[in-house]
A and B are shown apart, each in its own frame.
Chain A
């Protein structure tokens, strides 16, 4: 018997159970696990380390904890906010071109270069200096884009009895609204605090990953089946944490910055949609809603700023992120590493230490100022059993005229033989090259 007499080799009728027809329409299962049971890792495409914002700071290689003298201080070191002398507003935009040269040693057909680009808002801020009880106080409101999840992959994977074509689209980001306050506690020491609210505001706070696979697979007796599988995981992220910082002017030229970014547990509203189709039969769609959690790790850093003169400043930052505390907690309370997707007991994720250095040289001319900035950084990403080394450099410039400052920075971030935690169980590595352009506009009042 054949449902499709026109076909030379119709697919066997046995492959679908008739009772399943009941489920042809959308099935909504609240609290079920099903497809969502397999862990999604939080694949952060940008640097996973919590760096600050601004074309000026990033033009200096992101070494800004010990400098932190503009409105982006709330993101680097809120202790530096008191250096602002007048109200200012700023906006920072960014454009990213990221390429991933993927290597599957066991699957040459899948080894391809994947490229993705995106642009958008990096930072918005408004800051206002005040004098309260003869004390310098600066209040600021900030909106920062910290993490980017944009990634696109189109690839094929062939193994014995299976030909698989993947299309992966991932997007989204994590944004924080920061309410910051800096206080001058002595002529040489200032402290500050930023309360970060990770909620939907200008953009949705979260990410989404869609994986479409088309499969031609043989069963144990060699019969060929065609199966299409669509899995969409959408995560809405919310929570709060604080950045606490201090800036200590050790000498007239040398300043020391300290910053602590608190760990926090974010609520993850996880919606998973799975559509599976055993061709030529109709597709089955299932949607699950799950309440999950993501423990975000603590980060802390120390920075030195040295002002050789009004025209030349150099900076060095060392910071550390406790990635071993980065934990995904499923709706059933099971804990996994978001880096690799392994159960926490089987995962070996370690803290990473980042080093950033840079300088700024100002060319002061009548009526305008032109800066030249450059820097370099070592920005490792967490990985199973160690870390993925990423390096980079940046260049920046701009112009300041009157009360308006425009800055631009170009940053390259490179990783070679990284990403082995992304694809399991396949042996995998990738070379990553990420070009980022930052541009800032600051207006003083």
Chain B
């Protein structure tokens, strides 16, 4: 069952202040399905196990893209630091 579901969760923060960022759009591989970070900067994304790119966007900040490997039945932690544009 090599392609079951894996997860990634974390907190999105401002790279300068370290404050949590709400309303950041996060996707896997820039696909259609996206989530938005919560009031404490938290997010959770699901995807097929395998190699992906985690992408985060928010107006006023530089686009974030980082490689991530989702593993079947595993929740990974990936905190995202967004640099102001």
Contact residues of A with B, CB < 8 Å? 12, 14-20, 22-23, 27, 32-35, 37-41, 153, 157, 159-162, 164, 166, 168, 209, 211, 213, 215, 217-221, 223, 225, 227, 229, 231, 233, 274, 276, 278, 284, 286, 340-341, 422-426
Contacts and interface: CB of A to CB of B under 8 A. Distances in A.
A425 B71 contact: yes
Contacts of A424: 2, 49, 71-72
Given A41-B2, A217-B75, A223-B38, 18 more contacts: A37-B51, A38-B49, A160-B75, A161-B75, A162-B7, A213-B4, A215-B5, A217-B46, A220-B9, A220-B11, A223-B42, A231-B3, A276-B46, A278-B46, A284-B32, A341-B2, A423-B2, A423-B72
Contact of B74 (A153, A225, A278, A425): A425
21 contacts: A15-B38, A19-B25, A19-B34, A34-B29, A39-B50, A40-B2, A41-B2, A153-B1, A159-B74, A162-B7, A164-B5, A211-B3, A215-B5, A217-B9, A220-B44, A227-B44, A231-B3, A231-B4, A284-B32, A341-B3, A425-B72
Question: What range describes how many residues of B lie at the interface?
Answer: 35 or more
A233 B3 contact: yes
A162 B71 CA distance: 13
A220 B25 CA distance: 17
A231 B3 CA distance: 8
A41 B72 CA distance: 14
Contacts of B77: 220
B60 interface: no
Interface of B: 1-5, 7, 9-11, 22-23, 25, 29, 31-40, 42-44, 46-52, 70-75, 77
Contacts of A213: 4-5
Contacts of B73: 157, 159, 162, 164, 426
B33 A20 contact: yes
